[in-house]
Structure 1
Amino acid sequence: MNLTAAIALLALLFAAINSTAGFTFTSNNQRSDLNCSNVDYSPCTCDENSMVACDQIPIKTLRSAFAKMAAHDLTGLKLTLSPAEKDLIPDDFLGQMNLAGDLIIYCRDSKRLRVSQKAFQHSAATITRVFIDGCDLGQQPNLSFMSRFNHMMALVIKNSKNFKSFKGLPSQSPALSYLYITHSRGFEALAPDAVALPALRVLYLNFNQLNDASAAKLFKALAGSSTDSLTEIRLDENKLTKIPDAIKSLAKLEQLELGFNEIAVISKNSLPVNNTGTNGLAFSLQKNPIATIEPGAFGGNIGNSNYVKLQDIQLTQLDPKIFKPVLQRMLIRSKKVLGRTPFLYLGNNAIQCDCHLAWLVRDNRNLLNYIEGAKCSDSRELIDLKADDYHVIAI
C-alpha cells in the first residue's frame, strides 16, 4: 500500500471510530459503470457515493428485494438492524449482487447480531473493510462469515458487547492490517481461540474497560502470530494494572499508548528491549498511578523516537539510571532527524528539584532541551534551574 492510500485508509478508520452516531463513511470504491440512477434499490436508498443504505428494514424483506435485482457490483452496504429484528442475516443475502467495497452493520439499541456463515460468500474476495457498531454479539458464536474475506484490509468493531470468539477471521490473510475494537464491553466469555493474523500492523483496544485478564485474552486471540508485524498498539482508557506480558515480545513496535489506566509499576522487562523498529518506540503512560519505575525499564530503542509521555504519573524524581539513557538517545535522534525534536513529556508531576538533579541541571544541561512541561514541586520550571545552584559531586 502506498503512502497516499495508507493515509486515506487511516482517515476513514479514524472517522469511523470517533463517530458517535454510527459510522461516518466516505466511499473510495466508486465505479464509473454504476450509479444510483440505473438501479432501483427500494426499500433501501442509494447516496451520491453509490453507498446502499438499508435502515431498519426487515431481513426477510431485504432478502426478497435483493433476490430480484440483476447481478452487479455494490460499492458499499450500510445495514441498520432494528431492535425488533428476529431473523439472522441468511445465506446469499445479496442475491446475485456483489459487494466490492465496505460492509457496515449498525445495530440499533444493542440489537443481537446473527450472521450466517455464507451470508456474503459471493463477495468474499471483494469486501475490503468491515464495520460493526453497537451490536450484541452474544448469539454470534464466531466470525466465520468473514473467513474468506482475504482482501479485507480493516475490521472495526465499536460500541459492541458480549464477545464470544474471533475464530473465523481470515486466517493467514495477507491483507488484514488494521483491527480496531473500541468502546466495547463483555470480554469475560471470550473463547481462547487464537487467530493467525501475520499481516496485522495496527491494533486498537482502547476505551474498553479492559482488566489485565481480558487484555491477555485478546492478545492471545488476536496477536499471537503478529509479533513480527505489529507496529502500533492502543490500550489507553482501560483498567490495566500492568503492561500486558505480550508487549515485550513485539520487536517491531513503534507506537504504544497505555495512558489513562491503573498501572503502578513499570518493570525492567515489560517493554520491548530488543526493538528493531526503524523509528524506535514512542509510547505514552500518562495519567497512571505509577509508584515504581525499575532501572532498565526504558532500555533498548526507547528514546530513539518522537516522544515518551509520562505526564501526571506522580513522578517526583528523575533517576539518572532511568532517564539519562532515554534523553541521550533523544539527543542522538535529533541530530539524525532534522526538524523533528523528540521530547520526554513530564507535565503535571511535582519533581523534587533538590541535589538529585545535579546530573541533569549541571552536568548534562543540554539534555534539558528534550524535556517538555516539567516543573518542580514549588512550581519552578526545570529549564529555569541554574547549574550554579548544584554544588555536588557529579554522578
Structure 2
Amino acid sequence: MIKMANFLFLVVVAVSIFAKNIDAQRAASCASGGPGYCYCDLLSSGISLECNGYYSPENIMSEIEFHKPQGPIVSLTISNIGYVFNYVPDDFLVGNQIPSVSFQCSHGFAVNQGILTFSANAFRDGSGTCGLAGNLTIQDCNIRQFDTATLINCNQLQKLAFMDSHVDKIINIPSLDSLKNFTVYSPRQWFYATQKGLSQMSLAPGALLPLLSYLDLSGNSLNDDSIEFVSQLTVIEELHLEGNNFTVVPELTDSFHLHTVSMTLNSTETLISVLLPNPRAQLRSLRATFDSKSQAIHDVISLEGMFVQDVINFKLNMTKFSEEVFLAPLQTNGLTINLNPASRFACGCSISWLVRDNPTLLNQINNGTCTDGRPFQSIPAEEVSCCSNKSLLLRIDRLQKENDNLKAMQSSRCNRECPLSLPVKSQV
C-alpha cells in the first residue's frame, strides 16, 4: 500500500510539472512574434493582453489584430496612459468581443496633465456591434465629459466603473440591458478642477437600466435631478450616494431587493421624508444610513417601509423624535434606529408616547439624548405621567380607521367575488 501511494504521488507530481511546462510553452508562443506593444498571456479561457500606454492607440490596435487569430481575447488592459495615448479611435477593439477592458492613466490627478477622449464609435465595429462584452473600467484618468454615444448597442456590458477619474459630465446614458454595476467613485478633487468629480449625470429619454443592482456615486458634486432615475431601479440591491449635493432622499418604495443604502444630505435646513422598500422581495435585512456634514437641522417627517430586522442610522442633527413618524416603524419586526450622539431632542411630554406608553421600544433606539443630556432610557415614566393622553387617543382612532378600512375592503371583495343571491321561488 505504501509503495502504491508513493507511486501515485510521483504520478501526480509528474503530471503537474508537465502541465506547467505546457502552460509555459503556450504562454511563450502567445507572447512571441507580436509587434511588442503588449504582453500576451494565454489563459485557459483565452488571451490576456497587457499593453503600455506609452504607445499610440494604432500601435495597440495592431497588437490586438495580430493576436486575434490565436483565440478569443478575454482581457485587455492599457496602463501608463499619458500624452501619447490620448484618444480611443473608431473600432478600437478591432471587431473583438472582449469581456474585460481597462484603461489606467497616469495623469497625476491634475486636469492639465493629459486627457483621454473617446470616439463615439470607439467600441463599435462597422456593423454597429459593440465589443464590450462584460466590464469596462476607467481608472485615474482625466476625461472631462464622457461621450455616452460610445455605449450605444453595448447590451452585453455588465459593469461600468470610473475609479478616481475626473469626469465632469455623463449625460444621455443609453439603455444598457445587461448592466448590473455602475460606479463613479471620486474620493478626491483633482488639481485645478472646479468641482469634485461629476457635476451632472442623466439617462437619455426613455432609457432603462433594468438589471442594475449596484450603484455607487460616492464623492461627486451631483444634485437631486441627477438621481431622479433611481426610483425606477426595481432590482437595485446596493445604493451609495455619499458626499454629493443632494437635499432629498429618492423614493425607494419599489426597490424591492434593496439591502444597503447610504446617503449624504447637503442642505442648510430641510425636512426629510424616507420612503423605503415596501413590500420586500428578499429576506436580507436592510441597512440604511443618512448623514450630513453640516450642523443644519434635518428632522425626519416621514419614515415608511417594510421593516424586518432592519437598521437605520440617522447621523443627522435632529431635534424631534415624534410618535407620528417613528412609532409605527418601531412596532414592526425588529427595527433598530441609531441616532446621532451629538443630536439633542426635545423630550418631556413630546416623548411620553415612548417612555410611558411604549417603554419596550426603548431598547430599539440607540443614542437618543434629551436637551438636558439624559438618554431616553433614563427618563422615568412618572416624570411624564401627567402628560396628555392625546397620543394614545390618536392611536386608538387610527386603529379604528384601519379596522374600518379592512372591513370596507373585505366587503368590496365579497361583492366582487361572492355569487349573487338568487330569489327563492314560492311554492304553490
TM-score for both structures, normalised by structure 2: 0.66
In structure 2, how many angstroms separate the alpha carbons of the residues matched to 1:34 and 1:229? Answer: 46
Q: Which runs of 5+ in 2 are unaligned?
A: 1-22, 187-195, 392-428
Cα drift, residue 196 of structure 1: 1.8
Q: Summarize deviations over 1:15-63 as a string: whole Å, max 9, x none.
A: xxxxxxxxxxxxxxxxx89964331163223579875322323212212
1:55 and 1:262, CA in 2 relative to 1: closer, same or farther beyond 3 A? farther
| 1:219 aligned residue | 228
In structure 2, how many angstroms separate the alpha carbons of the residues matched to 1:137 and 1:35? Answer: 37
Q: Which runs of 5+ in 1 are unaligned?
A: 1-31, 335-341
Query: What SS class does the counterpart of residue 84 from structure 1 fall into?
Result: coil
User: Does residue 1:366 correspond to 2:360, yes or no?
Assistant: yes
Supply the AA of the counterpart residue of 2:240. R
1:148 and 1:95, CA in 2 relative to 1: closer, same or farther beyond 3 A? same
Supply the AA of the counterpart residue of 1:178. N
> 1:59 pairs with 57, 60, 67, which one?
57
| 2:212 aligned residue | 200
Query: What SS class does the counterpart of residue 325 from structure 1 fall into?
Result: helix
Give yes or no for contact 2:169–2:201 (8 Å, CA) kept in 1. Answer: yes
| 1:119 aligned residue | 123
Give yes or no for contact 1:199–1:229 (8 Å, CA) kept in 2. Answer: yes
1:250 and 1:231, CA in 2 relative to 1: closer, same or farther beyond 3 A? farther
TM-score for both structures, normalised by structure 1: 0.71
- Aligned pair count? 336
> 2:310 pairs with 306, 313, 326, which one?
306
Q: Summarize deviations over 1:198-255 as a string: whole Å, max 9, x none.
A: 222222222112223xxx13534xx57x4433343221211122234xx356442634
| 1:84 aligned residue | 83
Give yes or no for contact 2:183–2:217 (8 Å, CA) kept in 1. Answer: yes
Cα drift, residue 373 of structure 1: 2.6
Cα drift, residue 176 of structure 1: 1.4
User: Does residue 1:327 correspond to 2:330, yes or no?
Assistant: yes
Supply the AA of the counterpart residue of 2:81. S
> 1:181 pairs with 174, 184, 197, which one?
184
Q: Summarize deviations over 1:126-165 as a string: whole Å, max 9, x none.
A: 7211112233444653243x33433322211232313253
CA RMSD of aligned residues (A): 3.5
Query: What SS class does the counterpart of residue 149 from structure 1 fall into?
Result: coil
| 2:155 aligned residue | 150
Cα drift, residue 308 of structure 1: 1.3
In structure 2, how many angstroms separate the alpha carbons of the residues matched to 1:202 and 1:139? Answer: 23
Give yes or no for contact 2:81–2:103 (8 Å, CA) kept in 1. Answer: no
Give % identity.
Answer: 18
In structure 2, how many angstroms separate the alpha carbons of the residues matched to 1:377 and 1:258? Answer: 26
In structure 1, how many angstroms separate the alpha carbons of the residues matched to 2:202 and 2:84? Answer: 25
Query: What SS class does the counterpart of residue 385 from structure 2 fall into?
Result: coil
In structure 1, how many angstroms separate the alpha carbons of the residues matched to 2:29 and 2:319? Answer: 68
In structure 2, how many angstroms separate the alpha carbons of the residues matched to 1:260 and 1:46? Answer: 47
Rg larger for: 2
| 1:356 aligned residue | 350
Give yes or no for contact 1:67–1:96 (8 Å, CA) kept in 2. Answer: no
Q: Summarize deviations over 1:71-102 as a string: whole Å, max 9, x none.
A: 22233222136331366323443447652x31
Stretch deviating more after TM superposition (46-55 or 79-88): 46-55
Query: What SS class does the counterpart of residue 247 from structure 2 fall into?
Result: coil
Cα drift, residue 320 of structure 1: 1.1
Give yes or no for contact 1:67–1:95 (8 Å, CA) kept in 2. Answer: yes
1:382 and 1:278, CA in 2 relative to 1: closer, same or farther beyond 3 A? same
Give yes or no for contact 1:112–1:139 (8 Å, CA) kept in 2. Answer: no
Give yes or no for contact 2:90–2:124 (8 Å, CA) kept in 1. Answer: yes
1:141 and 1:286, CA in 2 relative to 1: closer, same or farther beyond 3 A? closer
Task: Name the structure with the higher strand share.
Answer: 2
| 1:261 aligned residue | 266
Query: What SS class does the counterpart of residue 215 from structure 2 fall into?
Result: strand
